[in-house]
A = this chain, B = another copy of it.
Amino acid sequence: MSKGGRAAKRGPPRRGLGRAAPRRPASAARGSAKRDAILAAALEEFSSRGFATARLDDVARRAGVAKGTIYLYFRDKESLFQELIRAMLTPLIGAIEAMGGVDMPLAAMSERMTELFVREIFETRRKDVIRLIITEGRRFPKLAEFYYREVLARVLVVMRALLARMAARGEMTSDLARFPQIMAAPGLVAIIWSELFDRFEPLDVRAMMRTYFKLLFATGRRE
């Protein structure tokens, strides 16, 4: 028999009538330090090994908790993954809406877009989150949908409005406003290139972004 008297009855009072607590970690429903440690460790592990090959044993070790503890805070591995992505993206939602009104002369766009991307995404953990959405999104349609609805769609709306305003002002044609996705294209290149090919041929992301927007916006006053 492994482990001494595991057979004991152990009589947890089992809360008379009250519903059987769903194993909620009680107090620490949301803002626990342990929960945060687990999320941080999970980001690390999922980023470097991918969802399927990441091991919860490793997440637990990295977070400094026992494996079982993870299950006090998250239903299962997939749940941990999804909550991780959501937790990382949620703060963005408000920030995007807040940008709704911005307007900008064409001359400033190139620099502003470049710095926004490099500083707020490329040099932060958000880069890893985006990579995870790209690489795992197909296997987690819920996640792709969340990202689309809560982030992408909003960004596109803001983008379209901004571009449309510039077009109305005569600073450029309205073509870009029809495909705001184009604005994100160099960002994708930067993220994917840096991950896969930087060791063979380093890419100066800032310079590329600047060049990109310069060319795009040089389109010139509608010809």
By a beta-carbon cutoff of 8 Å, the part of chain A in contact with chain B is: 1, 3, 5-7, 49-50, 52-53, 76-78, 133-135, 137-139, 144-145, 147-149, 152-153, 173, 175-176, 178-179, 181-182, 184-186, 188-189, 192-193, 195-197, 200-201, 203, 207-208, 211-212, 214-216, 218-220, 223
Question: What is the minimal beta-carbon distance from A99 to any residue of chain B, in angstroms?
Answer: 20
Separation of A108 and B40 alpha carbons in the complex (Å): 50
Given contacts A5-B52, A175-B214, A175-B215, contact A182 B186 (CB under 8 A): yes
Candidates B78, B144, B185, B212; contact of A179 at CB < 8 Å: B212
Choice from B53, B139, B215 contacting A49 with Cβ under 8 Å: B139
Most chain B CB atoms below 10 A, which of A137, A145, A182:
A182
Q: Determine the chain B residues whose CB is within 8 A of the CB of A133 once the complex forms.
A: 196
Q: Is the CB of A184 within 8 A of B189?
A: yes
Q: For residue A134, which residues in chain B have a CB less than 8 angstroms away from its CB?
A: 134-135, 192, 196
Contact A211 B182 (CB under 8 A): yes
A211 and B139 contact, Cβ closer than 8 Å, known pairs A1-B77, A148-B197? no
Contacts A/B (CB < 8 Å), 10 sampled: A6-B53, A49-B139, A50-B139, A134-B192, A137-B196, A144-B197, A148-B200, A188-B189, A216-B216, A219-B219
Given A3-B52, A76-B1, A215-B176: A188 and B182 interface contact (C-beta under 8 Å): no
- Given contacts A139-B53, A216-B215, are A148 and B5 in contact (CB under 8 A)? no
* Chain B neighbourhood of A193, CB < 8 A: 181
Q: Which residues of B contact A7 (CB under 8 A)?
A: 53
Question: In the docked arrangement, what's the CA distance between A72 and B189, Å?
Answer: 39
- Nearest B residue (CB) for A4: B52
Query: In the complex, which of the residues B138, B208, B219 contacts A218, with contact meaning CB atoms closer than 8 Å?
Result: B219
